[in-house]
C-alpha cells in the first residue's frame, strides 16, 4: 500500500562554525536568518512547514472550528468598558457585534451626554492584515488627540493626530516610533521615542510641535549606553514630563516643566549601577520607588528642586524583607500601595493625615490578582481597582477609601452557560530539590474525577521578574470542560516572593527556573493530579526557552510541549549585538563574551542541547515579523529537532506570515491560533471525539 503520511520539510544543511572561548559550535541552519524577511528559500521553507502542519492536523478541522466558535461564543460581542472620568470627560471603549477592534469614545460631563468617537480602530484597520493601536493621548484642552498605529506587527508605530472638535486628521505624521506618545501640559507639544532601526532599542526622546514638519522635531535626549532604553510620560500632577532611562538593574530619570516643554531637562538623580528607581509627581512633591538599601523596594518622597540631594528625601513606606513593594498610586488624601505578601498581590490604603490606621482590602478567594485600575483623578476618595481569580472573571470595583465600601461596577460576562460555582481553584506548595517552596495555582471543574490522573496543562515563565498571576482565562474553559486541569507554576525568575525570588532565577542561577518547573511537574504526577502520558507544558517567549530547556532535560516526563515565539537560540543571539533587544538583556542572561556566562548559557540553551533521543509531541508557534524573538530561532530549532530526534511523535511548526510577537491582531483572530493549539493537544491525547 502507498504511504500517505505527510512528509515533513527537510531543511538544507549548511554548516557554519562558530568558535568562542575555545569552543566550536556548528550551526547547520544559520542560513535561515533573513533580516529583511524576503529571501525566497526561507519563505518557501516556512510555507512548507505551515503546509505540513495543516496536513498533520487534517481531520481536526471540525474540532478546530468547534473550539474557535466556543471561545468566540463566550465573548459578549457588544461589550464596553467601565467609563472613567478624566478632566471633565467620561472615557470608555466599546465593541460592536462581529467587529474585531474596539471603538474609543467619550462623553462630556455626564454619561447621559452625546457620545463622541475618538478613534474607531475597525475603520483604521481596514485594508491591513494586521493592526495594532498602540497609544491614545488627549491634549490639555481635550481638543486634540495623538494616537499610534502599527500595521506590520514589528512594534514600530506611526503617530497621527486628530482634531476632536472638527473630526479632521491633522497633517502631522511621525514615522518609526516606539508607540508611546505624551502631550506636554498644552496643545502644542508632544514627546515620543524612536527605536534604533537595526536593534529596535528605544534610544531617543523627541519633541514635536503641532503644525510643524516632523523633520524639524527636536532631539530631547539620546541614550548612548546600549544596555539602556528610554521612555517619556506626563506626571500624575501634570506638572512635569519625565524622561526615564532604564536597564535591567539601573535607572535614571530626567524631567522638564510640562508648561515649558522646550526647556532643558534636569537630572532627577544620576544613575548608579544597581540602583533602580521610578519617579512620580503629585501633591507638590516627587515620589520615588527605590531599591537603594532596600532589596524589595521602599517609597521615598523628595521636595521639588532638590532631588539630587538624597539627604532631603523622606521615607514614606519602609523596606520590609517579607513584602515586595510593587506599585503605588498617590491621591490627595490617601496613598494606595500594591504589594506582594506571601506570593500574593495585596492593596493597602494609607491616609496621609494618619487620622485612621492603614488597612488592606480583603478577598475571599484563596488565590487571586488585584491591581489599581484607571485612577486619573487624584482629588477623589474613590479608588478603582481590578480583580480576578482562576474562577472569577475580570472584575472592576470602586472602593471608598474612607468608608471602605466596595461597589462592583462590572464583571466580564462569560456566555455559554458559564457558572463559576462549577470550578474550583487551589494553591499548592511544591518543595523544590534545593528546598525552595514553589507555589502552584491550579483550577479544574468541581465535578472532575480526582481518583485518577487527568490531562494537565502546566504553564510557566520565570524570567525578567515577571510574576505569573492566578488570572482568569476564558479560552482555558475549553480545556477545563473537557476534563483538563490547568496549573501555573510560580517558579523562580519571577517576583512572586520579592526580589530574591527573581535574583535566584537569573544569570548564573538560571538553572533554578528549569529545576523548579520540572519539580512541579514531578509533584503533580506523584500526587495523582496527572501522569506523564497526560502532562502538557507550555510557555511563550522566555517561557518558550523554559519549556525548550525542560524538554531537553526531562523529555520522558511530558506528553506534549507547546512553545510559543520561543527564545531558544540563547548563546548565538546573545553574542550578536545587532539582533534586536540583545544588549540590554545582559543583566538578565549574562554576556556570553565572558567565558563564565558563555559556558553556563551553553549548558541550557535549547538549540545547543538538542540530542539524538526521543522527544514528546511538539507544537512550535511564531510570527514572521516578531521583533522580540526573531522567527529564525524557532525555525532553526524545529529543523534541528527534526534531524536529530529518534521518535515518531509529531513536530509541528506554525508560522503566522502576517504577525509578530503578540500573534494575530483582532478580538477573534487570536482564537484561531488557540484553537489549533488545543486541537493539537486533544489529538496527542486521543481526545478529539
Q: Give the active site residues.
A: 541, 626, 661
**What's the burial of 412, exposed, middle or buried (CB within 10 Å: 0-12/13-18/19+)?**
middle
Strands 535-540, 456-459: parallel, antiparallel or unpaired by DSSP? parallel
> Helix, strand, or coil here: 101?
coil
Residue 615 CA to residue 635 CA, distance in Å, equals 17
Dihedral of CA 665/667/669/670: which sign? positive
Quick count: other Cβ atoms within 10 Å of Cβ 83? 18
315 bridge partner residues: 300
565, 661 in Cβ contact below 8 A?
Answer: yes
- Residue of 514, 508, 511, 464 lying closest to 597 (CA atoms): 508
Residue 75 CA to residue 95 CA, distance in Å, equals 11
Q: What share of the chain is helix, strand, coil (3-state, %, to 5)?
A: 20, 35, 45
Report residue 112 CA to chain centroid gap.
36
Task: Locate 316 and state its grid cell.
Answer: 514614606
The side-by-side arrangement of strands in the sheet containing 395-400 is 369-372, 382-388, 395-400, 406-411
User: Hey, what's the torsion of the CAs at 72, 53, 618, 539, to 10 degrees?
Assistant: -40
Residue 32 CA to residue 633 CA, distance in Å, equals 9
Residue 315 CA to residue 302 CA, distance in Å, equals 9
309, 270 in Cβ contact below 8 A?
Answer: no
Residue 561 CA to residue 680 CA, distance in Å, equals 10
Residue 20 sits at the vertex; the CA angle it makes with 14 and 22, to the nearest 5 degrees, is 110
535, 487 in Cβ contact below 8 A?
Answer: no
- Residue of 636, 630, 632 lying closest to 199 (CA atoms): 630
Strands 456-459, 485-489: parallel, antiparallel or unpaired by DSSP? parallel
Radius of gyration of the chain from Cα atoms? 26
Dihedral of CA 378/379/383/384: which sign? negative
The side-by-side arrangement of strands in the sheet containing 103-108 is 84-86, 89-94, 103-108, 116-120
Amino acid at each position: 500500500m502507498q504511504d500517505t503520511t505527510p512528509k515533513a520539510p527537510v531543511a538544507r544543511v549548511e554548516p557554519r562554525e562558530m568558535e568562542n572561548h575555545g569552543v566550536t559550535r556548528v550551526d547547520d541552519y544559520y542560513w535561515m536568518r533573513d533580516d529583511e524577511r524576503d529571501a525566497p528559500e526561507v519563505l518557501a521553507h516556512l510555507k512548507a512547514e505551515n503546509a505540513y502542519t495543516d496536513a498533520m492536523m487534517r481531520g481536526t478541522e471540525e474540532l478546530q472550528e468547534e473550539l474557535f466558535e466556543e471561545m468566540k461564543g463566550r465573548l459578549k460581542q457588544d461589550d464596553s468598558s467601565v467609563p472613567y472620568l478624566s478632566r471633565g470627560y467620561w472615557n470608555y471603549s466599546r465593541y460592536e457585534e462581529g467587529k474585531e477592534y474596539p471603538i474609543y469614545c467619550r462623553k462630556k460631563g455626564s454619561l447621559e451626554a452625546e457620545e463622541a468617537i475618538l478613534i474607531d480602530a475597525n475603520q483604521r484597520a481596514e485594508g491591513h492584515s494586521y493592526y495594532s493601536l498602540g497609544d491614545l493621548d488627549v491634549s490639555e484642552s481635550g481638543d486634540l488627540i495623538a494616537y499610534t498605529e502599527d500595521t506590520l506587527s514589528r512594534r514600530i508605530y506611526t503617530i497621527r493626530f486628530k482634531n476632536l472638535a472638527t473630526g479632521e486628521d491633522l497633517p502631522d505624521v511621525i514615522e518609526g516610533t516606539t508607540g508611546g506618545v505624551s502631550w506636554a501640559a498644552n496643545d502644542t507639544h508632544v514627546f515620543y521615542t524612536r527605536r534604533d532601526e537595526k536593534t529596535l532599542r528605544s534610544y531617543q526622546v523627541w519633541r514635536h510641535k503641532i503644525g510643524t514638519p516632523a523633520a524639524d522635531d527636536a532631539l530631547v535626549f539620546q541614550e548612548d549606553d546600549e544596555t539602556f532604553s528610554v521612555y517619556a510620560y506626563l506626571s500624575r500632577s501634570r506638572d512635569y514630563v519625565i524622561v526615564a532611562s532604564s536597564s535591567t538593574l539601573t535607572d535614571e530619570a530626567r524631567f522638564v516643566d510640562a508648561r515649558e516643554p522646550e526647556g532643558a531637562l534636569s537630572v532627577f538623580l544620576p544613575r548608579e549601577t544597581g540602583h533602580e528607581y521610578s519617579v512620580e509627581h503629585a501633591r507638590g512633591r516627587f515620589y520615588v520607588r527605590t531599591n537603594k538599601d532596600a532589596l524589595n523596594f521602599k517609597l521615598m518622597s523628595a521636595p521639588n528642586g532638590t532631588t539630587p540631594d538624597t539627604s532631603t528625601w523622606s521615607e514614606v513606606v519602609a523596606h520590609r524583607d517579607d513584602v515586595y513593594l510593587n506599585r503605588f498610586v498617590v491621591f490627595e488624601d490617601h496613598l494606595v500601595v500594591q504589594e506582594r505578601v506571601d506570593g500574593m498581590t495585596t492593596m493597602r490604603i494609607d491616609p496621609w493625615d494618619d487620622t485612621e490606621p492603614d488597612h488592606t482590602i480583603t478577598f475571599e478567594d484563596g488565590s487571586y490578582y488585584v491591581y489599581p485600575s484607571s485612577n486619573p483623578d487624584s482629588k477623589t476618595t474613590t479608588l478603582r481597582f481590578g480583580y480576578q481569580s482562576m474562577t472569577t472573571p475580570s472584575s472592576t470595583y470602586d472602593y471608598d477609601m474612607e468608608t471602605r465600601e466596595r461597589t462592583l461596577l462590572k464583571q466580564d460576562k462569560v456566555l455559554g452557560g458559564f457558572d463559576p460555582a462549577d470550578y474550583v481553584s487551589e494553591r499548592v506548595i511544591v518543595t523544590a530539590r534545593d528546598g525552595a517552596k514553589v507555589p502552584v495555582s491550579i483550577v479544574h471543574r468541581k465535578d472532575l474525577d480526582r481518583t485518577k490522573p487527568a490531562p494537565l496543562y502546566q504553564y510557566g515563565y520565570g524570567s525578567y521578574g515577571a510574576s505569573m498571576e492566578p488570572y482568569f482565562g476564558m479560552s482555558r474553559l475549553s480545556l477545563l470542560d473537557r476534563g483538563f486541569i490547568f496549573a501555573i507554576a510560580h517558579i523562580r525568575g519571577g517576583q512572586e516572593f520579592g526580589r530574591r525570588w527573581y535574583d535566584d532565577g537569573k544569570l548564573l542561577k538560571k538553572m533554578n527556573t528549569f529545576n523548579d518547573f520540572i519539580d512541579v511537574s514531578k509533584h503533580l504526577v506523584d500526587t495523582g493530579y496527572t501522569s506523564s502520558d497526560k502532562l502538557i507544558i507550555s510557555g511563550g517567549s522566555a517561557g518558550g526557552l523554559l519549556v525548550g530547556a525542560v524538554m531537553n532535560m526531562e523529555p520522558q516526563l511530558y506528553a506534549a510541549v507547546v512553545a510559543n515565539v520561543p527564545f531558544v537560540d540563547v548563546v548565538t543571539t546573545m553574542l550578536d549585538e545587532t539582533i534586536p533587544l540583545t544588549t540590554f538583556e545582559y543583566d538578565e542572561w549574562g554576556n556570553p563574551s565572558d567565558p563564565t556566562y558563555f559556558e553556563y548559557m551553553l549548558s541550557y540553551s535549547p538549540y545547543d542541547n538538542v540530542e539524538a533521543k526521543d522527544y514528546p509531541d511538539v507544537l512550535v508557534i511564531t510570527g514572521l515579523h516578531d521583533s522580540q524573538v526573531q522567527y529564525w530561532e524557532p525555525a532553526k530549532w524545529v529543523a534541528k529537532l527534526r534531524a536529530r530526534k529518534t521518535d515518531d511523535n509529531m513536530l509541528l511548526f506554525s508560522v503566522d506570515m502576517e504577525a509578530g510577537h503578540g500573534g494575530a491582531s483582532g478580538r477573534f483572530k487570536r482564537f484561531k491560533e488557540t484553537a489549533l493549539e488545543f486541537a493539537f493537544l486533544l489529538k496527542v491525547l486521543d481526545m478529539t471525539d
